[in-house]
């Protein structure tokens, strides 16, 4: 039979073991809480920085939008000045005489080379000549405000 001293030692060892386990549990809980706190702080820092970056980007986009609005307004003003409107609200044809045997025609909405040829000369037969003078294809899509060289009207 074990004597009392041995029994006491075993009891003390068991209590010591239980105390160590409790201490170990508390250390693990403290470590887990610390890790969670650190991850939370990193998350808060990241969200704050991301928010700041998004605000900066938003401000850049706001400035860019204002700049684009100003440019659009300037372009609309320029287009209105380049395409004056006559009394019956249709854009006027702008033709500028040059010193050579050519004139400059400014394209208006809906214009085609065939339409320009018909309006200037009364026939489509000048389409290829207009295209050649401008280095474009006879079926080219024209841009409003584009300046095209055209031959002078016969008899001028």
Report pLDDT for 130: 92
Q: For residues 4 and 71, state if they share a domain.
A: yes
Report pLDDT for 86: 45
Report pLDDT for 152: 80
Q: For residues 74 and 106, state if they share a domain.
A: no
112 alpha-carbon distance from chain centroid = 32
Q: Which of 82, 117, 141 delimits the end of a domain?
A: 82
Q: For residues 4 and 76, state if they share a domain.
A: yes
What is the sign of the dihedral through the CA atoms of 91, 139, 118 and 149? Answer: positive
Residue 8 lies in a domain: yes
Q: For residues 99 and 57, state if they share a domain.
A: no
Report pLDDT for 78: 78
Q: For residues 106 and 40, state if they share a domain.
A: no
Mean pLDDT by 10 residues, the chain (156 residues): 64 84 91 96 92 89 88 80 50 52 88 92 92 91 92 69
Tell me the residue range of the domain where 76 lies: 1-82
Query: What is the spatial distance between Cα 106 and Cα 104, in angstroms, rounded to a whole number?
Result: 7
């Amino acid at each position: 039979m074990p004597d009392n001293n041995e029994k006491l030692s075993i009891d003390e060892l068991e209590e010591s073991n239980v105390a160590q386990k409790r201490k170990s549990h508390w250390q693990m809980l403290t470590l887990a809480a610390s890790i969670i706190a650190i991850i939370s702080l990193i998350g808060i820092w990241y969200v704050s920085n991301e928010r700041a970056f998004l605000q900066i980007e938003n401000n850049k986009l706001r400035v860019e939008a204002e700049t684009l609005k100003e440019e659009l307004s300037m372009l609309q003003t320029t287009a209105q000045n380049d395409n004056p409107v006559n009394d019956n609200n249709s854009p006027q044809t702008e033709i500028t005489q040059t010193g050579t045997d050519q004139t400059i025609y400014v394209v208006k909405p809906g214009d085609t080379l065939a339409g320009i040829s018909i309006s200037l000369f009364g026939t489509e037969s000048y389409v290829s000549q207009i295209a050649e003078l401008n280095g474009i294809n006879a079926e080219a899509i024209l841009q409003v405000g584009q300046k095209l060289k055209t031959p002078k009207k016969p008899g001028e």
